[in-house]
Amino acid sequence: MTSRMREPTYFILAALQDEPLHGYAIMTRAAELSQGRVKLATGTLYSALDRLTGEGLVASVREEVVNGRARRYYALTPGGRAALQVEADAMAAAARVVTDRATRTRPAEGIA
Amino acid sequence: MTDSLLRWYPEPYRSERGPEILGVLMDAGGPTPRERWALMLGGLRMRAGAHGNPWRPALRTAALMLLVLKILNEVDTLVAFRTGPDAAMIARIVLSLIGIVALTHNGFLAAAAAAVAMIAVDGGDLHLTRLYSPWLVLLLVVPLIGRGPVSVPRSLHYLVGWALLPAGITIAGSALTDNGWPNAAERTWWVLFAVAALWAVVDERLVLTVGLVLLYEVVFRIPFAVELARQGEFARGWVLWIGLGLVVPVLGVTTGGVLTRRRVRT
């Protein structure tokens, strides 16, 4: 069995699939997409971004200063998009193992 | 504020990313205790260089520690018996030195060859139950052969220095066992293990290395325990002695292994 992506990493990459985002926007988008399960602390987010940048899955694309605060925007690289897709496919396949069976099983066959 | 919240990060990183991280913290409503903890861990992990697979640096450092201990053990024998070194002893010291030089230059095949030569010097006797035996060096070095150089962080370099401490206590003659309680040399290993276990929150390589060095304890103490049980002499002191001996290598390798598995995943 191949090593699976960790949930925070998955939702950080998922947060970036539509457009480049700055750090705080990544945190809020990841929380929203994960329905509140992934609440990243700033230190955790930047450790993950540094690692993902090093692995070539994410890249910094631009910087700006808004209300006196420095902001750097991050985007998915083609490699990051591909890794996200692979993970999503794997999770979908794993989910089908259960959902397909549930669809096929008639209520009379259940225990309750 | 930058200084207090980001002080755990190296200065160059603080200069480059500090304003951005502080901006995000302010957007998030300010630093909570959880945020402070995450920043401390992130900074310490960065300083420790804790990224990538930790097994290879841990294997190399553990093998290096064993060879240093091997030389100290030979010196201990010389001091204890006040005899001149025999040819086999000189050969073991020279081969250990060759192994150390080879390991520090990423020459893993040469280090493995030195370990095999040491086993040959002992007439093929593996001395399975001794900390200073070359079989464990061989076991640790073989997975490193043919896979390129290993980068070892500074925190693991300190470990080799630590190896001198329990060995020094042993040589000083203060390591007499008393009813199975840990002696002075064993207690220094315990202190090292406690430090390594705490540091595992930041970097698992230290605890992994200590666990690997003490793997011989598993080979040593389990058959000993079985034999004691067979003879009906399994007193409480022995249970403690055996248990303490097994806790460090087993916990070290499993803790390091589990943390590694968690952290090397993307």
Residues of chain B positioned with their CB less than 8 A from the CB of A70: 19-20, 23
* B108-163 per-position pLDDT tens digit: 999 999 999 998 988 777 666 666 678 889 999 999 998 888 877 766 666 666 66
* A42-98 per-position pLDDT tens digit: 988 998 999 899 889 999 999 888 877 778 999 999 999 999 999 999 999 998 888
* A21-33 per-position pLDDT tens digit: 999 999 999 999 9
Answer for the pair A61, A42: CB distance below 8 angstroms, yes or no: no
Q: Do B264 and A70 touch (CB under 8 A)?
A: no
DSSP-assigned states of every residue in chain B: -HHHHSTTS-HHHHHHHHHHHHHHHHHTTS--HHHHHHHHHHHHHHHHT--S-SHHHHHHHHHHHHHHHHHHHHHHHHHHHT----HHHHHHHHHHHHHHHHHHTT-HHHHHHHHHHHHHHTTT---TT-TT-HHHHHHHHGGGTTS------HHHHHHHHHHHHHHHHHHHT----BTTB--HHHHHHHHHHHHHHHHTTT-THHHHHHHHHTTHHHHHHHHHHHHHHHTT---HHHHHHHHHHHHHHHHHHHHHHHHHHHHH--
The residue in chain B having the minimum alpha-carbon distance to the alpha carbon of residue A26 is: B24
Residue A23: the pLDDT is 93
Q: What is the mean pLDDT of residues B198-224?
A: 78
pLDDT band at B175 (very low <50, low <70, confident <90, very high): very low
Q: Beta strands of A67-101 (E only): which ranges?
A: 69-76
Q: What is the mean pLDDT of residues B221-236?
A: 70
Distance from the Cα of A85 to chain B's closest Cα (Å) equals 14
Q: What is the mean pLDDT of residues A96-112?
A: 70
Residue B100: the pLDDT is 93
pLDDT band at B240 (very low <50, low <70, confident <90, very high): low
Interface of A with B in 82-111 (CB under 8 A): 83
Residue A14: the pLDDT is 96
Kindly tell me if the per-residue pLDDT of B237 is higher than 70. Answer: no
Residue A5: the pLDDT is 84
Dig out the tokens for B173 from the structure. Answer: 């003659």
Distance from the Cα of B12 to chain A's closest Cα (Å) equals 14
Q: Given CB atoms, is A53 within the 8 Å cutoff of chain B?
A: no
* B4-63 per-position pLDDT tens digit: 888 888 888 888 888 889 888 888 887 888 888 888 888 888 887 766 678 888 899 889
pLDDT band at A1 (very low <50, low <70, confident <90, very high): very low
Q: What is the mean pLDDT of residues B243-251?
A: 72
Mean pLDDT: which of A53-62, B167-176, B191-200, B248-257 is highest?
Answer: A53-62
Distance from the Cα of B42 to chain A's closest Cα (Å) equals 6
Q: Given CB atoms, is B1 within the 8 Å cutoff of chain A?
A: no
Answer for the pair B137, B98: CB distance below 8 angstroms, yes or no: no
What architecture is the A7-102 domain classified under in CATH? Orthogonal Bundle (1.10)
d(Cα B7, Cα B126) in Å, to the nearest integer? 49
* B51-85 per-position pLDDT tens digit: 667 888 889 988 998 898 888 878 877 777 767 77
- Domain spans in chain A, listed from the N-terminal domain onward: 7-102
